[in-house]
Amino acid sequence: MKVTLEAIKQRPMPQHIAIIMDGNGRWAKGKGMPRLAGHRVGVQALKSIIIAIDELGIQYLTVYAFSTENWKRPIDEVNGLMELMVEFIDKEIDYLHEKGVRVNPIGDISRLTGKTYDKIMFAQEKTKGNTHIVLNVALNYGGRQEIIRATKAICEEVVQNRLRVEDIDETVFSSYLYTNGQPDPDLLIRPSGELRVSNFLLWQIAYSEFWITNILWPDFSKEHLWQAIWEFQNRDRRYGGLGEKRS
Ligand code: FPP
């Protein structure tokens, strides 16, 4: 069945969508192109999804752009990805700002190359007052690293007598994550057919609905996004309880 914009607009929208932008390398290989060409088309796919997110009125989008494990890739690919991020910001920052997008890097960005770091900081600073869409860009991000970072910060607060151990609960813990103050993703989209989470948002996806597709990220279009949302809207989210359809 072909899902239309009208159909999904009639039902409650997810507030927060997270995407693992995977399959760029395979897409390029399939076309006899260098891997970086796949990443380049992947950036275009990201732009079209930001436009679609805006059309739908969804407030939070988190995309996995570079993991803590991606440093293991050949240096040319790593440098190429860093350069693509700089190009993306140069080309799109005015558009993003006009649309009210807040560019919010999540991850340890201090390890990025100097030029990329400066550009990301520039984008973050320029858009920090925007509230229409929050675009979390996971850069040198790892879910385990994020949880350890939060744990260390909480320990420090306890040592300094600013937080009592008995007051640590899920809400307090969440407030030490990069996504502090944001709702958890309702929907996690995983292109390229892989059946793994790849160290992405380990804490935040506890109750996210997964939508897995064989489509490779550079081929991912707004129609695929609509399909994912339609299926999400037709699921019964039970959060460990019985849910509406069973009670
Ligand atoms: C995974 O595909 C993708 C990445 C490691 C990078 C994703 C980055 C972008 C789409 C562009 C940069 C982002 C911004 C925000 C401008 P893969 O290389 O693992 O694909 P494969 O599994 O087919 O080899």
pTM for this prediction: 0.96
Beta bridge partners of 187: 17, 209
Q: How far apart are CA 109 and CA 94, in angstroms?
A: 22
> 138-164: per-residue pLDDT in tens?
999 999 999 999 999 999 999 999 999
Residues lining ligand 1, Cβ inside 6 A: 21-26, 39, 42-43, 46, 65, 70, 81, 84-85, 88, 137, 192
Told to judge if 22 belongs to the known catalytic residues of this protein, a careful annotator would answer yes
Residue 197 CA to ligand 1 center (angstroms) comes to 15
The per-residue pLDDT for 1 is 76
Q: How many CB atoms lie within 10 A of CB 132?
A: 12
> 176-195: per-residue pLDDT in tens?
999 999 999 999 999 999 99
Residue 207 CA to ligand 1 center (angstroms) comes to 25
Residue 99 φ then ψ, to 5°: -80, 0
Delineate the domains of the chain, giving CATH numbers in brackets.
14-143+185-235 (3.40.1180.10)
**Spans of the chain below 50 pLDDT:** none
Please, are residues 46 and 76 in contact by the beta-carbon 8 Å criterion?
no
Told to judge if 136 belongs to the known catalytic residues of this protein, a careful annotator would answer no
Q: In the Cβ-directed half-sphere of 235, how many Cα atoms lie within 13 Å?
A: 18
Q: How many CB atoms lie within 10 A of CB 89?
A: 20
The per-residue pLDDT for 119 is 98
